[in-house]
Amino acid sequence: MGGDEVVSAIEPAVGKASLGHSSLGQHHTWMYRTIEKIRDEVALQKLLLRLIQAQLPLYAQRRHGPIEYGKDIVVFAEVDGQYVLQMYQVKAGDITKSNWAKARDELEEMFQVDMSCVQLSRGA
């Protein structure tokens, strides 16, 4: 089978697939459904950290242990010429009325305890 014959054989299927994708736009819902199924908070933290690091921040770290003070992931980035500190509290599953009190306390603590300036230097 020659090159022209191969092109003729696959052209309709490729064209149909391309038309479907271009007319419907990008489909990213599979990604959200997959992430939503993660029930292990540590695995979810690691995944989110890698996604954040792909944006090339000045600093990004998953924090774990007694001195995290509610900060599961901390990011220091330059956004539109401004230095921005972003702190994330990562929860797997739904936040319900019964587990909200603990989550609320962790969120409040995240903003009450300062980050060390050494960790957040612009050269990090």
d(CA 2, CA 113): 69
Angle (CA) 49-113-46 rounded to 5° is 15
Beta-bridge partner residues of 77: 84
pLDDT at position 52 is 92
Phi, psi for 71 (deg, rounded to 5): -95, 100
d(CA 88, CA 74): 6
Beta-bridge partner residues of 78: 83
d(CA 9, CA 120): 57
Please report, in tens digits, the pLDDT of each residue of the chain (124 residues total).
555 665 566 666 666 665 555 555 566 788 888 888 889 989 999 999 999 999 889 989 898 777 777 788 999 999 899 999 898 988 888 889 998 988 888 888 888 877 765 455 554 4
